[in-house]
Amino acid sequence: MTFSIIVPSLNAARYIEETLASVEKQTYTDYELIIVDDGSWDATSEMICRFVSEYPRTITVSKKNEGPLLARRDALKCCSGDYVVFLDADDVLHPETLERVSEVLERSNVDILEYGLTRNQEHLGRAFRSTVEVRPVNSDSIIRMRERVSSGLTNNLCGKVIRIACFDLQEDYSPFVGMMHGEDLFQLLPVVDRAKTVLQITDSLYYYRKADSTSTSRFRQRQLADVDTLFERLLLFSARWGGNCVVNALREEATLYVSLLCLAADGEWDSGSSTSTFDNIRVAMETTGALGRSEGIKLRLDVRLILSLLLWRKYHTLKKLLRFRNLIRNGFR
């Protein structure tokens, strides 16, 4: 069994050496490493070149900056492994990640294997003393995963080992160049649609670093277009999956727009600029139908109140509420 480890990178000089070292330290060695430099302008490319000089079996792709979605798509075209592992350029794998997941996959043969993420890097130094407990694959497992995906509870490509056959490799993703908000979930949807079986293990095998700043940590106008693109696809797949998926997706859509409102309230204190941003979000929700869709479903009280204030254009009150909500969620830091 061969794994293809994909590392997309953009200006990742601060951590990429540690990331690549965690791949080199894997106790299971039947893998290929594919690194994509997505147009970095710091020292990332030089660091990648140094690594490749020592580990020449590494595949590298250098390209103009088009965003992480297309960077991963370009890497997928190079894959020859049976399963794909995604690793962000500032994160770290446990040394036994591939060994543990290969053991499970040999015994279960599932399409998707999920494993634990941790924010505590000390977990990566822990040695596992027993074999992985593999539960029988439940025929309803993919149904439950689709419900979690439609709810936004499972939206990362990281923390999963995915059979290469589950990817829509023939599809053209070039219209989505530059997509930054929700791009993981956008790619995950067709994967989960094609998958037949999924299994979870509790082992924490991936250190997920909380970045100092990310492309989604403050509001940008482009995010509205990304959210529209994402939910057009999410609602399509949710309707195909049936069950609770459609309602889950509608709730997630409303919740994500509220998150954008929170970013706008946090990033802009000037009353004029924030009012303009709130109005842009309201117009986007009305134009795409998101605001109307939210009115027909049961939402949390705070989400319903925020969307009602947006609909009524009570922007001054809305800003105060969002700022207070952000303070509570951030622990009054």
The tens digit of pLDDT for each residue in 21-65 reads: 999 999 999 999 999 999 999 999 999 999 999 998 899 999 999
Tell me: do 76 and 185 sit in the same domain.
yes
Tell me: do 186 and 250 sit in the same domain.
no
Tell me: do 202 and 247 sit in the same domain.
no
Question: Which residues does residue 76 pair with via DSSP β-bridges, in sequence order?
Answer: none
Tell me: do 230 and 313 sit in the same domain.
yes
Tell me: do 200 and 52 sit in the same domain.
yes
Tell me: do 251 and 173 sit in the same domain.
no
What are residue 34's phi and psi, to 5 degrees? -120, 115
- The closest alpha carbon to 228, from 266, 281, 277, belongs to 281
The answer to the question of residue 82 being in a domain is yes
The answer to the question of residue 154 being in a domain is yes
* Chosen domain end from 154, 172, 207: 207
- What are 58-106's pLDDT values in tens digits? 999 999 999 999 999 999 999 999 999 999 999 999 999 999 999 999 9
What per-residue confidence (pLDDT) applies to 135? 66
- To the nearest whole percent, how much of the chain has pLDDT over 90? 80
pTM: 0.92
Tell me: do 158 and 252 sit in the same domain.
no
Which residues fall within 8 angstroms of residue 212, CB to CB, at 6 or more apart? none
Q: Given its phi and psi angles, is residue 109 left (phi above 0), alpha (psi -120 to 50 degrees) or beta? A: left
Q: Could you give the 3-state DSSP secondary structure of residue 80?
A: coil
User: Domain span at residue 294?
Assistant: 222-329
What CATH number does the domain containing 113 carry? 3.90.550.10
Question: Which residues does residue 122 pair with via DSSP β-bridges, in sequence order?
Answer: none
Which pair of structure tokens corresponds to residue 177?
């160049």
Residue ranges in the chain assigned as alpha helix (H): 16-24, 44-54, 68-76, 97-108, 141-150, 183-194, 222-241, 245-267, 271-288, 290-294, 301-311, 315-329
What per-residue confidence (pLDDT) applies to 209? 86
Tell me: do 188 and 241 sit in the same domain.
no
The total domain count for the chain is 2
